[in-house]
Amino acid sequence: MEKNSPSVNFPKIVIVGGGFGGIQLAKKLRDQEVQILMLDRHNYHTFQPLLYQVATGGLEADSIAFPLRKIFKGQKNFLFRNAEVTSINPERKIVTTNIGDYSYDYLVLATGSDSNYFGSRELEHFTMPMKTIPEALNLRSMILQNLEEALIETDPDVKKGLLNFVVVGGGPTGVELSGSLSELKRHVLKKDYPELDISEINIYLIEGSPVLLGPMSPQSQRHSKEFLIEMGVNVITGVTVTSYDGQVIKLSNNTEIITKNVLWSAGVKGEVPEGVPKDKIVRGGRIKVDQFNRIEGYKDIFAIGDVASMQTEEYPNGHPGVAPAAVQQGKHLAKNFIKVLNNEPPEPFKYFDKGSMATIGRNRAVVDLGKIRFQGVFAWFVWMFVHLMSLVGFRNKLVVLVNWIWSYFSLDRGTRLIIRRFNRESMREDTSGK
C-alpha cells in the first residue's frame, strides 16, 4: 500500500537521503509546484567532516547533527518519512521501504557513500569505520574502553595491542583522525590516565599510495606528513593492509603490528539501493549519470553527491566525493527541475572546485585554493571558519565554536564518555544514515 500523503496533482519528487545534496535540492524547490518526499533512515542530517572529533571526544554527537524536519519547517510542499529504503522498482516507479511503498514521478538518489573494504569480510568485521554518528560513538567507546582495560592488563603483548592505534587510509579523514588521536595522547590522556606510561601509546597511519592527501597539492602532501611526524605519528606510505584478525594487522611490507584498534578510512563506495541495474554501477560502487545527473537510460531517476559518478574529460572517474560537489549538484538539479516544469531544456552540470583543506591538529592545517597553497596557523583558522559556517543551525555553530575555544585554551576534550559500551557483534546494527 502506498503511503504518500497528502494527495496532490503536482509532480512527486522522492529524494532518498538527507545529506548535503538532498537538503539543497529540497530547499531550492521550496516555492515550486511539486510534492517533495524525503526518505532517510535517520531523522537528522550529519555533518560528516567533523565525525572524527566526535570519535575522539572533541565534540558531542548532537553538535554536528540537525533534525531534518526542523530544516524544512514551514515548507508546505515537503514531507519527510523516517524510513530505510530497501529497493527501487524503475518499471513500476516505486520505492520500497521498511514502512511501505512510495510512488514517484521523479526519483533522486542522494544516498551518499559507505566504507569500502574491497571485498574483505575480515577487514569489515574487525576494523572500525567512521561514516556515521553511531559509528563515531562506537569508535569513541572502543578507544576509551581499551584504555581502561590497559590499566589493569598484566600481559605485555595484550597491553601493547590495547595501546597501539592504527589508522588505515591517508586521505583527509585518516590524516585528521591521526592528528586528533595524537593530540588526545599528548594533552589529555596523560592527565586522565596518570598510571599509564603515555610513551607506550603508538599511533600509526597506513597509506597505500606514496603520499598522503592524494588529491591535494604536493606542497600540502609534504607538509601534512611533516606535521604528523612532528606530532609523533608513525606515517607509513606505499604499503597496504593484507590482513587483520582482530589481534595483529599485517602489511604488504611484511610488517606486523599487534593492535586491537584499527580505524578504517581507506576507501568509500556508493550506497546503492537494490533495483539499480548492475551495468549502471561503475568504479567505487557509484552510479553512472549523464551531465544532467540522470542515471543513464532513465529520464525520471537521478543521482547526486557521493553515490553519483558523472564522468567528464576533467573528471574521468567522477567528481570528488566531497560536500561542495554534492551541494552544487543538489542546487543545479533543482534548477533543472524548475526548467523542466516550465518546459525549458535543462542545463548540463559543471563543477566549480572551491579548493581542498585538511587539519592535522592545533595550529596545523593545509589549504589548497586554486593555485594558492598555504599551511600552518592561518590555514588552521581558515579550516575552522569554513567548517563552522558549513554547519546547519545557529545552535550547532555556537556549540562547536565554544567547544573549539575551550579546547584551544585548555588543551582538553570535554566528551570523553562511554555512553554505551562498545560491542563488536552489535556495532553495525545502525551504521548508515545518508
Whether 8 shows a pLDDT value over 90: the answer reads: no
pLDDT in tens, 139-165: 999 999 999 999 999 999 999 999 999
pLDDT of residue 414: 77
Whether 6 shows a pLDDT value over 90: the answer reads: no
Read off the pLDDT band of 370 (50, 70, 90). Answer: confident
CA 312 and chain centroid, separation: 24
Q: How many CA atoms lie within 13 A of 333 on its CB side?
A: 34
Domains of the chain with bracketed CATH: 12-41+83-115+269-341 (3.50.50.60), 121-266+355-426 (3.50.50.100)
- The residues annotated as belonging to the active site are 176
pLDDT of residue 137: 94
Q: Where are the alpha helices (DSSP H) in 153-216?
A: 156-163, 172-183, 190-192
pLDDT of residue 423: 76
Q: Which three cell numbers stand for residue 396?
A: 550547532
pLDDT in tens, 330-368: 999 999 999 999 999 999 999 999 899 999 999 999 999
Q: Where are the alpha helices (DSSP H) in 75-171?
A: 121-126, 133-152, 156-163
Q: Which three cell numbers stand for residue 181?
A: 588521536
